[in-house]
Amino acid sequence: MQNDITALSSEFDAALAAANSATALDELRVRYFGRKGGLIPALFSRLKEVPKEQKKDVGDALNKLRDRIESELKEKTERIAAEEAGRKEARETLDVTLPARKPRLGHLHPVTLVRQEVEQLFREMTYTIDPGPEIETDWYNFEALNFTPDHPARDTQDTFFVDVVEKGGHLPGAPLLLRTHTSNVQIRSMEKWKPPVKVLSCGRVYRRDEITMRRSPMFHQAEGFVVDRGIHIGHLRATLEFMIRRLFGPDSKMRMRPSFFPFTEPSAEVDMSCIFCRGAGCGTCSQTGWMEILGCGMIHPQVLRNCGIDPEEWSGFAFGMGLDRVAMLKYDIPNIRTIFENDLRVLEQF
Ligand code: PHE
């Protein structure tokens, strides 16, 4: 019996040394202490065969062996668990030298970028930024801007009307409409603030147009205007030159061509030197070296009168520019549809 105890003891030492995982240690626990066929219980059950005078010594030896196996198994199990936890921690340690994964950033829309640029340069000239309403009455979009009652722009062919009628106002019962230009802000601002005023207004405008490469029924305009004493066309020209150079580079040139708008007199259309050929003539500018960029003029005396402003004392200039077109030119986008489709593969380039 003593021999069996000694043999089991050395067998255990070898088995413990070989067991290097939690599972192997579990197997050992079963081997020595398992309810069925566990080696330690088996030895205990043989105690009854031991002669009386040896019983105490053998029993002591067996108890010692059991305690030793128990505590050594426990200790090694704990050590292996701690080592495993350590390895796991090491695996999870932050390697600061690893190149970072590039985060996916949001991008501003090209029209927003242009809008911000325009707003910023007029803010520097102390203009007030006021987007104005998109749903408008006939008065602010047409009448006060000197459009005659039979002007073709007022036709349902050109203007989107809204299914809601004007309450009170200038033409009670007349349908509201989606503004066809940002010039409505001229009237609203002159009504709100008495001159001197300097306002820049960027926003959406609507016209009943088919979608083509260059047109869309919804697009964006920037409207700028100044009313003060002694404002003349030189102020207009200098302001536009400043804007065009800021937007398209310091060597950009501009020219004014006579034109007509009901709300400005005189009126002009402004061309700037083609940004693709720098004036030499190319396919984009139809070999002229120029491209049309905006409409402008001196605010018509009747428009000032419509806002209760005396044209003998005050004068002003105004201009309106398509922001989508500026974005298309600046970022070389050939089709306006690209601007409104919002394909992320396109937007992510800005
Ligand atoms: N509102 C005009 C348009 O939409 C542009 C414009 C604005 C012209 C201001 C003159 C002065 O075409």
Quote the percentage of the chain above a pLDDT of 90. Answer: 56
Between the CA of 58 and the centroid of ligand 1 the distance, in Å, is 112
pLDDT at 35 over 90: no
Q: What phi-psi label fits residue 126: left (phi over 0), alpha (psi between -120 and 50 degrees) or beta?
A: left
Q: Which pLDDT score is estimated for 327?
A: 94
Give the model's pLDDT for residue 316.
98
**Domain coordinates of the chain in residue numbers?**
2-92, 110-135+180-347
Handedness of CA 183, 188, 191, 197 (dihedral sign): negative
What would the two tokens of residue 279 be?
A: 């004036």
Indicate whether 227 pLDDT > 90. Answer: yes
The domain defined by 110-135+180-347 folds into BirA Bifunctional Protein; domain 2 (3.30.930)
Mean pLDDT for the stretch of residues 207-211: 92
What are the pLDDT digits (tens) for 89-108?
Answer: 888 888 888 888 888 888 99
Token duo for residue 141: 């979009």
* Residue 200: band (very low, low, confident or very high) from pLDDT cuts 50, 70, 90: very high
- Residue 213: predicted pLDDT: 86
- Per-residue pLDDT, averaged over 192-209, amounts to 96
Name the residue with higher pLDDT: 187 or 37.
Answer: 187
Query: From the alpha carbon of 186, which atom of ligand 1 is closest?
Result: 9
Higher pLDDT: 12 or 254? It is 254
Quote the CA–CA distance of 131 and 292 in Å, as a whole number.
24
Ligand 1 pocket mutation, candidates 142, 190, 239, 263, criterion most atoms within 8 A of CB? 263
Q: Please give the pLDDT value at position 113.
A: 96
pLDDT band at 304 (very low <50, low <70, confident <90, very high): very high
* The CA-based dihedral angle spanning residues 319, 324, 329, 333, taken in that order and rounded to the nearest 10 degrees: -170
Asked if pLDDT for residue 156 goes beyond 80, the answer is no
Does residue 323 surpass a pLDDT of 90? yes
Pocket of ligand 1, beta carbon within 6 A: 181, 183, 223, 261, 264, 295-297, 318-320
Q: Ligand 1: which of 159, 257, 261, 315 to mutate, judged by most atoms within 8 Å of the beta carbon?
A: 261
Q: Which atom of ligand 1 is nearest to the CA of 225?
A: 9
- The closest residue, in CA terms, to atom 5 on ligand 1 is 320
* Residue pLDDT, tens place only, 50-81: 888 888 888 888 899 899 999 998 998 999 88
- At how many degrees (to 10) do helices 2-18 and 22-33 cross? 170
Mutational test site, ligand 1, from 140, 145, 158, 181, max ligand atoms within 8 Å of CB: 181
Residue 150 C-alpha to ligand 1 middle, in angstroms?
Answer: 19
Atom of ligand 1 nearest to the CA of 181: 4
pLDDT of residue 105: 84
**What's the CA gap between 236 and 84, in Å, rounded?**
77
The distance from CA 192 to its chain's CA centroid, rounded to whole angstroms, is: 33
Residue range 329-346, pLDDT digits in tens: 999 888 889 999 988 888
Here the tokens at position 37 are: 């066929």
User: Is the omega angle on the peptide bond into residue 196 within 30 degrees of 0, that is, cis?
Assistant: yes
Decide: residue 317, CB within 10 A, 0-12 exposed, 13-18 middle, 19+ buried: buried
Could you identify the residue written with the tokens 């003998």? 312
Whether residue 285 is predicted with pLDDT greater than 90 in this model: the reply is no
For the residues of 191-242, what is the DSSP string, one character each? HHSPSSEEEEEEEEEE------SS--SEEEEEEEEEEETT--HHHHHHHHHH
Q: For 19-23, 231-235, 309-313, which range has the lowest pLDDT when averaged over its residues?
A: 19-23
For residue 236, pLDDT over 90 is answered with yes
Nearest alpha carbon, ligand 1 atom 2:
320
Mean pLDDT, the chain, as a whole number?
Answer: 92
Rounded to an integer, the average pLDDT of 310-314 is 98
